[in-house]
Structure 1
Amino acid sequence: MFEEVDAALGEKLTDIIWNGPAEALQLTENAQPALMAVSLASLRALETEAGFSVRRDAAFVAGHSLGEYSALAAAGSLNISDTARLLRIRGLAMQKAVPVGVGAMAALLGLDFEAAVAVANEAAQGQVCQAANDNGGGQVVVSGDKAAVERALEIAKSKGAKRAMLLPVSAPFHCRLMQPAAEVMASALANVTIRQPASPLVANVVASSISDPDEIRRRLIEQVTGTVRWRESITYMASHGVTRFFEIGSGKVLSGLVKRIAEGAVGIAVGGPNDLAAARDALAAMQSA
């Protein structure tokens, strides 16, 4: 899979991933396919070193925002080449949708989702301000026009938020300002073959499982401007008997959130060689249960 990923990303992006500079890698059109590459390379290591099979071992697949594309590639719904190309298009389209400095995103900590939505609505005042990510554990991200998001920070603090802070992002993702990017993705996805995934996808925008290729295509388009309903997605999977969640790729943030959302659930991050032993033990426990 490493060779497939390299070929899909193209020589220029592969060189940026391995050699930098960091500023180029951090551009969203490069970062999105690069993060997918890390996820799929980690998946291959889990398959070869621990005997993991998406079809056999995963009741569902899911991904947070751009991770939804990695999840679909892992489940065989998208091929790797199309996934890399779509994520590069997605990154470019999202960056171009709103001029730099016009939009912003902010994390509101210590408010539940309904309270954060109320804050966003109060802050909008004729501009765009909406809940972009419902991450769970009292963490909600709002997105929209910069002035409206800055108003949301002050309102959230007055409503009892533990912390409210602007995020260092290049665009206001997952809000109505991204509509131009959604239109670009509709065109791009229309020309891609989407297959039924080996395991159902729990889609960001509906927080329930889907497998129909046409619905997957539609939900990927909606995801550009819609809320990432991560808390509800984890709750949905837990309610269907999932107790072990494998976070495959860069970072361990989602594993931590799982433990805060679903009581008794275990989050297992697989992003490097040192993670494989724990993943192997967790898989053995699953298969012997």
Structure 2
Amino acid sequence: MVEGPLVHLVATVHRRLLLGQRLRASSPNGKFRGGAALVDNQVLALIEAHGKNIFYFFTRLKPANSNQIIPQHLPEDATVVHIHFGLSGSFKTYTAPGPEVRPTTRLRLVAEKMGIVAHLSANVCSHGNLEFYRKKVECLGPDPLRKDGDKERLWATLQTSRKKIGAVLMDQSLVAGIGNIYRTELLFITGVHPNQPASSLARSTFEQLWSEAQRLFQVGVITGSLITVSPDEALRPSPSRNGDDYYIYSHKYCRRCDGEVRRWKLAQRTVFACEVCQPLIQQTSKTQESIDGIFRERSL
């Protein structure tokens, strides 16, 4: 499952291996033939990751000061390739000539000077100009991993939202990069029930939720894995003998208290909750402020 941190990891690797290179492009399965023709023999000038989306900017000439380029600095005739990996896409790099392409390989890039090839398999692969990029980004919420990720924008939305917090976290137009695993685990760590009305979250709980999202996302980029269990708890024997990287996601019993994990559909995906560690409290924000300390103690 490709959530925000793994997209940022792809961007980090490709910046090191492909950025600034003039690339040969082709579409082995023919599903991105037009886009590949546009970027063939172009320079990869910029890579931007935003939530579960990644954007590759191609230009005819290599920009000066390429390490400091932002989209606004690029020429209007730049071609932008937008990628969304879906549940199981990938964009892997290999030493040339690389492996045989697969039926799912939409795009193949070759950096001849670097001796690197990259194969893309993705749910969405489209292209456009800079205005195309701007419109795509305008539809996305703040990304906890980006420096420009504006948590105040999300907080303002929560104040008037009629959605449950579990639905908000899966809405990429409200907050970008959180998928079902992080949705489940973030709410568990902060002691918030997925059905909690978003507008009832206290400011302190919201701050903890945003901070934990940043922390877990950073762990994901560093490790290349979706790990949510803290190092201390990972070393402890688990009552339910769940020895993997999650507290409750896809578990029958809670890794922390051994209570039964409930599951149901929310925002079209199965969500999980331990109702011992995440009691549903129908309260206003002010009332919840007084019980935030209890949730924090429980998460220690």
What band does the TM-score fall into relative to the shorter chain?
Answer: under 0.3
- TM-score normalised by structure 2 residue count: 0.26
Scaled by the length of structure 1, what TM-score is found?
Answer: 0.26
Q: Which is helix-richer, 1 or 2?
A: 1
Of structures 1 and 2, the one scoring higher in RCO (CA 8 A, sep 6+) is 1
Q: Which has the higher strand share?
A: 2
